[in-house]
Amino acid sequence: MDYSNYFEILYDYKRKEIGTEEKSILFKIINNADLSSQIGSYLKLRDKTQPGDNSSISKLIGSKLLVEKKGLILRGMRKYQLSSSGLFHVLSETISYPPYLLKKYSNDPILLTLLYQYFEVDTIESSTARFYSIITQYLKQCCRITQNWLEDTQNSNEEHKNKLMNDLLFELELNPKLLAFRILIMYSDSNILSLTSKSKTGDTDVAYYEIESQMKEILSKDKKFINLLQKINTEFKEGYKEFTSSN
């Protein structure tokens, strides 16, 4: 996989400390809420103050977490969206966010690199709560690993940077394989049954079982995910052969 766009976007990224008001605006953008009041206030401030004012939206733009959406201005209100750096911040720092976010930014290089080379957009959009939970955990892990690498390389020489880069690439390529292995185990019929909640009478919640079974069927029809499984299967067989033939 080519990670050049991913690294180009994040090369100068630094962890952002943002205030309560900025977090509130990000939360609304993440959840696709109406920002008219905040944006209207920002426009008034912008017209009355000097550049570099302390408005929340101005801070988020200055931190490269937000960008203005291209296109027409609706009723004098500008529209904003997460930048790639802003999306990376959300994936690594936010506890929860809706599946809608992963669809809305499905063409962003961050998600194209970490997620959508392994899954179709429709699969993620159809996520059950259980499946979506492991997807968000996976994304956070990838972002945290990348963030640690960025911090470790700030004052490193080129030789050490190259070593750390190789380590990062190994981890980024390993994580989706571990994710796929986890999905395989979690969605075996026996584990779907064992993880399905029970009613007061002790019977399996049939509706819940059917929902997870449908998720399994969706995954089985996802060509990108099946391609990932095939690669893992090949690597596993080769590794197994090497280990067992040496005895």
Retrieve residue 242's tokens: 């090497």
pLDDT along the chain (247 residues), means of 10: 85 85 89 60 46 67 86 61 94 90 96 97 95 96 93 80 87 96 92 70 70 95 97 93 82
Q: What pTM does this model have? A: 0.84
Q: Which helix (H) or strand (E) holds 66?
A: strand 66-68
pLDDT of 36 reads 52
Retrieve residue 209's tokens: 């079982």
pLDDT of 87 reads 96
Torsion sign, CA atoms 60, 65, 94, 148: negative
Secondary structure (3-state) at 31: coil
pLDDT of 58 reads 87
Confirm if 56 and 38 have CB atoms less than 8 A apart.
yes
Q: Which domain holds residue 166?
A: 4-245
Rounded Cα distance, 80 and 123, in Å: 27
Question: Into how many domains does the chain fold?
Answer: 1
Rounded Cα distance, 84 and 113, in Å: 12
pLDDT of 110 reads 96
pLDDT of 205 reads 67
